[in-house]
Amino acid sequence: MLTPTWMRGLADSTSPRSATVLELLFDIVYVFALARLAGRVADDLTIVRHTLLSEAGQTLLFFTAMWMIWSLNALLASTYDPRRADLQVVLLATMFGTLVLAVSLPQAFGARGVIFACTYVVIQLGRPLYLVFALRGHPAQLFSYRVLVWHSVSGVLWISGGIDGGLGRGILWSFALGVELIGAAVHWPVPRIGRAPIGDLAAVSQVHLAERYNQFFMIALAEVVLEAGAAVSFPGFSTERTITLVAAFVATVSFWRLYFYHVGPGKQASGSAGGEGIELARLASYSLLFIVGGIICTAVGFGQVIEDPHPPIDWALVVVIFGGPVLFLIGRSYLERRYSVAPRCQMLFIGALALAVAALPSVLLPPVAVAGLAALILAVIAVVDGRAHLRGAQTNPTL
């Protein structure tokens, strides 16, 4: 069978060092998706306590599923040339599917369960299915084939959960997402095939992938500004709301500083061949999962305080306000290069411990004081970390 002209050379194409405009367009959908997820977290804080864990679990499931789609597409565009017409079609199709998922989020555990499940499965199966077809005859095809097998198994669970309208939906979807996470963690082995040899995997452009993560980080960081600004806009300024708005701004600047300045400039490889590149991409993806999740929690926490700044504060809101920065610091600490000759900086772990300790007595404080305390601790961590590293310029966090 002859390969169509528009598919030829895919395996030999290389990703550019900079992200393309289409990839930035793809992220626009995630502005909406993250806003939807932030809305779910805010709703989780206002529900009856005996359903809090189940509702929070649903939100975590949706967040992880949406992140799986984004991270795998970022890996695709960092392995092959996203300026190719065929890959642009794949990215645009995924973009539209992600929009459908974001629209379905509020009722994904209700009337739109089948729509959500089917759309997700089409996205996760369509990408590797195309690569298996386009890369036939090339050693890299084996990697896409193994991914396709794992997503086919999870796809059955996703659709079964979408059809099941009861408790089974959450159970089946959790197992489906677990299959995908385990598959990524063990490099998608398949019986009688196992893992593809390292030399059979295409090179991953670490520079391109790092830039994509940086762009997504900035989109997530905008959620803090959006949540806080929107909460202040309607009722207007007051002493409590103004203090919380300032605290949200300080937290935003601290996140930015800790993300871009924590690791100093150094030599960064343009790409890693084979399994090393995939391994680095996988570890970085898990790190960004914590980072973005922590930022969303922080955004929701400050927004809730602005909407209702009067005491007493709810313990769940304290967990969100302090837990968000803790997740961010843990994720940021593991974003450093695995093979760095310098020892891993302990400042971020110390900061996470300080936040956890400060959260314990915060249930006795007014909500505005809790938000201010969390922002103050974050600012101190950023200043101390900056003095410890003595970095003069921002850097592109390495993978």
Q: Cα–Cα distances in Å, from 137 out to 4, 193, 244?
A: 14, 16, 59
φ and ψ of 380, to 5 deg: -65, -40
d(CA 244, CA 370): 9
In a domain, residue 266? The reply is yes
Q: Are residues 226 and 137 in the same domain?
A: no
Q: Are residues 186 and 249 in the same domain?
A: no
In a domain, residue 68? The reply is yes
Q: What is the reported pLDDT for 164?
A: 85
Helices and strands (DSSP H and E) totals, the chain:
12, 0
In a domain, residue 215? The reply is yes
Helix, strand, coil % (nearest 5) of the chain? 75, 0, 25
Q: What is the 3-state secondary structure (H, E, C) of 99-149?
A: HHHHHHHHHCCCCCHHHHHHHHHHHHHHHHHHHHHHCCCCCCHHHHHHHHH
In a domain, residue 396? The reply is no
Q: Are residues 186 and 42 in the same domain?
A: yes
Q: Are residues 157 and 224 in the same domain?
A: no
Q: Which of 163, 182, 200 is the last residue of a domain?
A: 200
Q: Are residues 338 and 189 in the same domain?
A: no
Q: Are residues 183 and 328 in the same domain?
A: no
Q: Which residues contact 18 (CB under 8 A, 6 or more apart)?
A: 208, 211
Q: Are residues 216 and 194 in the same domain?
A: no
In a domain, residue 133? The reply is yes
Q: Are residues 45 and 82 in the same domain?
A: yes
Buried b (16+ CB within 10 A) or exposed e, 296-312: bbbbbbbbbbbbebeee
Q: What is the reported pLDDT for 219?
A: 92
Q: Which of 200, 230, 254 is the last residue of a domain?
A: 200
d(CA 281, CA 299): 27
Distance in angstroms between the alpha carbons of the first and the last residue of the chain: 39
pLDDT digits (tens, 9 = 90+) for 110-120: 889 999 999 99
Q: How many domains does the chain have?
A: 2
Q: What is the reported pLDDT for 263?
A: 63
Q: Which of 141, 172, 200 is the last residue of a domain?
A: 200
Domain extent at residue 243:
206-389
pLDDT under 70 in the chain at which residues? 1-8, 48-51, 193-202, 263-280, 336-345, 389-399
Q: Are residues 254 and 142 in the same domain?
A: no
In a domain, residue 24? The reply is yes
pTM of the model: 0.88
Q: What tokens appear for 257 in the block?
A: 């500083």
Q: Are residues 28 and 168 in the same domain?
A: yes
Q: Are residues 106 and 212 in the same domain?
A: no
Q: What is the reported pLDDT for 43?
A: 84
In a domain, residue 394? The reply is no
d(CA 121, CA 56): 23
Q: Are residues 14 and 138 in the same domain?
A: yes
In a domain, residue 399? The reply is no
